[in-house]
Amino acid sequence: MFFLIVGLGNPGKTYRHTRHNLGFWVVDRLAECHGITVGQKKFRGEFGSGAIGGKRVSLLKPLTYMNLSGAAVTAAVSYLKIPLEQVLIAHDDVDLELGRVQVKSGGGHGGHRGLRSVIENLNQDGFARIRIGVNRPAGDGKEVSDYVLEPFGAAELSTAGGAVGRAAEAAATWLEDGLTTAMNRYNSWPGKES
């Protein structure tokens, strides 16, 4: 059985430290923790394969820019012949508080353009996803599309890094123990209402 974990983001130094690139951060963390090299140019992205918890897995960071992420995901899913229940997408989410991680399956795109591209290209949304909270912009009239392309502030970086670590752990749990276990373990928000 083969699995695919995709992190959504934008390529290049300009976007590396932005809120919109948390999906890339998760793939990088998984690669680092599990000795997987994600450097092969394949499926319109950076790609690598290895094992996590005894499961065969491929990691993908689309290089198509966020709004066209679906082209890369569809190419990988089609070529590797991976059923959607064995696909996980990691992405930022303005509807969750900074630092919060939520694992789920299906449920539409919620306005996230990268997810929308994936769903439109696959023509279904039955894949798992890990949402990583970045907050909505404060009430200063800033557009969400501009806000997510800004780098984290110094005070936010530690919280964002912690969330990326939990998201990577959640992805490994999804691989090893399944969706329900990952949801039960990581969707709670200590000290907050779930």
Residue type, 59: L
CA-based max dimension of the chain? 48
With cut-offs at 50, 70 and 90, classify the pLDDT of residue 193: very low
**Residues facing residue 77 across a β-bridge:** none
Does residue 190 or residue 64 have the better pLDDT? 64
Is 193 among the domain residues? no
Does residue 18 or residue 190 have the better pLDDT? 18
pLDDT tens-place string over residues 167-176: 999 999 999 9
Q: What pLDDT does residue 194 have?
A: 41
Question: How many structural domains does the chain have?
Answer: 1
Closest to 87 in 3D by CA, of 179, 189, 182, 181 = 179
**125: containing domain:** 2-186
26 pLDDT above the threshold of 60:
yes
Closest to 61 in 3D by CA, of 48, 80, 51, 74 = 48
What average pLDDT does the segment 34-48 reach? 96
**66 and 8 Cβ atoms separated by less than 8 Å:** yes
CATH code of residue 137: 3.40.50.1470
Going from the C-alpha of 56 to that of each of 48, 89, 171, 175, 183, the distances in angstroms are 11, 16, 13, 9, 21
Give the span between the Cα atoms of 148 and 96, in whole angstroms: 13
**Residues facing residue 131 across a β-bridge:** 91, 102
Is 143 among the domain residues? yes
Catalogue the active-site residues. 20
Is 192 among the domain residues? no
Is 139 among the domain residues? yes
107 pLDDT above the threshold of 70:
yes
* Whole-structure pTM value: 0.94
How far is CA 44 from its chain centroid?
Answer: 17
3-state class (DSSP) for residue 165: helix
Is 191 among the domain residues? no
**23 and 38 Cβ atoms separated by less than 8 Å:** no
Q: What pLDDT does residue 190 have?
A: 64
Is 38 among the domain residues? yes
Q: What pLDDT does residue 49 have?
A: 97
- Percent composition of the chain: helix, strand, coil (DSSP 3-state, to 5): 45, 25, 35
With cut-offs at 50, 70 and 90, classify the pLDDT of residue 138: confident
Is 77 among the domain residues? yes
Give the span between the Cα atoms of 54 and 77, in whole angstroms: 21
What average pLDDT does the segment 49-72 reach? 96
**145 and 97 Cβ atoms separated by less than 8 Å:** no
What average pLDDT does the segment 22-29 reach? 98
187 pLDDT above the threshold of 50:
yes
Average pLDDT of the chain is 93
Do you know the residue count of the chain? 194
Is 149 among the domain residues? yes
